[in-house]
Structure 1
């Protein structure tokens, strides 16, 4: 990044860029790597890292590498769509797990992505590329389809008209087919995603509604595609989705999902 561009960035932007340097592939970084990934000079990175470490947002281990600190976890636990929703839904997720002994997931929508806020791993279940905090495009997962199908009509159309990333030969990347799938989700109340992320897994998902009826999350079970019995899984997933979720919190002016087509 040119020096002039670095200098023009605001202080909050530089601070956030340091935190943004960490991700799933880079959970531990040295100061030089933070500087490079954040696009900051070494001296600026050193100053910001020191401040974040003192506050508790970062932690430094004995080898000199930095990690995300517990102070950030404490703040994240306050998110209404995070820990609070997870605590309410967990008994229902555990019931779904006991009924299937397969991977059970709870997720919320964040823009064009689904974010997983809980995951119960099956004892001998199919492998999934999921962890708490993981993000995936909405169209490629069962929970994502359940959430997208109940977002407002403009958001659905914008998403269908955008690039649809493919992960396997079975990932739905045709906008017309995706629109038909979303219509089926609204009609049936469940979403079925088969081999879209890995070619051996199938997920059945259902929307979780808040007190006013708006969809605030989605729950799913992921099973081996070859052995999937969708009609058997649907009632169990629907029952788990009846968790009494808290009402969604939207910023002023945000549109309700009740206008979904």
Structure 2
């Protein structure tokens, strides 16, 4: 291949800059506004828009004259979402997190029974627990469960929570205590529990959001509680939030929290 072929086609890259600016605008915009967002001259943006509109990748509203994404982009987006394998994408990053920290990592998703483990990758530290994929976790007592309580609608979580409480599978909190727990998860992006389910086990969990910005998965990290100092908690919390943020963006979701290191 020639050097030019390997370098790509510059005009296509510029067209993508225009489309990216249209996407980042989150609404129909004028030519001048789009040019500012793309950091390009308006005359240059207009030439690209003519071709993008012809291809259906952009559209111009008849009444206002504002530009927005076209129907072809919507079709591409729908097909891209159809092909997303959330667990597969997240698993790649989860294993990297395990290798980087040497601590056990997990992935969980919501099912009719509650938060359910779908992946468990052991780290270098022995844990006081034998885990089976498919296990359902207690909502109020587990880090994973608290993430679900914080980011899923109560209409979904409350019936499961009440059922677990009735069967003695999770403890009962007052409304104010539960609100404090979930508010903290939403603010920091993590839930940290020590010995809540199994004595000697500490777990840090963080949400992963998917298309439509709903909770898709929960990324967890388990380690012996004796290892979890205050400084290590901060470092691992920051690491797991950064990883869950990367996965969220890969899935097309939107991050809802600050990083763990950010001030409230």
Q: TM-score, normalised on structure 2? A: 0.55
- Give the length in aligned residue pairs: 165
Greater per-residue helix proportion: 2
**Shift of residue 173 of structure 1?**
2.8
Question: Residue 172 of structure 2 aligns with which residue?
Answer: 173
Q: Is the 8 A contact 1:103 1:125 kept in 2?
A: no
SS in 2 for 1:243: helix
Measured in 1, the distance between the counterparts of 2:141 and 2:131 equals 13
RMSD: 2.8
Measured in 2, the distance between the counterparts of 1:149 and 1:193 equals 15
Measured in 2, the distance between the counterparts of 1:163 and 1:141 equals 12
Unmatched tracts of structure 1, length 5 or more: 1-79, 249-257
Question: Residue 225 of structure 2 aligns with which residue?
Answer: 225
Q: Is the 8 A contact 1:105 1:118 kept in 2?
A: yes
Greater C-alpha radius of gyration: 2
Measured in 1, the distance between the counterparts of 2:157 and 2:236 equals 27
SS in 2 for 1:140: coil
- Compared with structure 1, are the counterparts of its residues 116 and 161 closer, same or farther at alpha carbon in structure 2 (3 Å cutoff)? closer
**Shift of residue 175 of structure 1?**
3.1
Cα deviations across residues 92-151 of structure 1 (Å, max 9, x unaligned)? 101210122111000001135111111101122323342221112222221121122101
Question: Residue 125 of structure 1 aligns with which residue?
Answer: 126
The 5-angstrom pairing of residues 131-146 of structure 1 reads 131-146=132-147
Q: Is the 8 A contact 1:117 1:133 kept in 2?
A: yes
Measured in 2, the distance between the counterparts of 1:238 and 1:206 equals 6
The 5-angstrom pairing of residues 59-98 of structure 1 reads 84-98=85-99
SS in 2 for 1:199: coil
Unmatched tracts of structure 2, length 5 or more: 1-80, 257-264
Tell me which stretches of 4 or more aligned residues in structure 1 moved more than 6 Å: none
Measured in 2, the distance between the counterparts of 1:120 and 1:147 equals 21
- Compared with structure 1, are the counterparts of its residues 243 and 129 closer, same or farther at alpha carbon in structure 2 (3 Å cutoff)? same
**Shift of residue 247 of structure 1?**
7.1
Measured in 1, the distance between the counterparts of 2:240 and 2:199 equals 22
The 5-angstrom pairing of residues 89-108 of structure 1 reads 89-108=90-109
Measured in 1, the distance between the counterparts of 2:252 and 2:111 equals 16
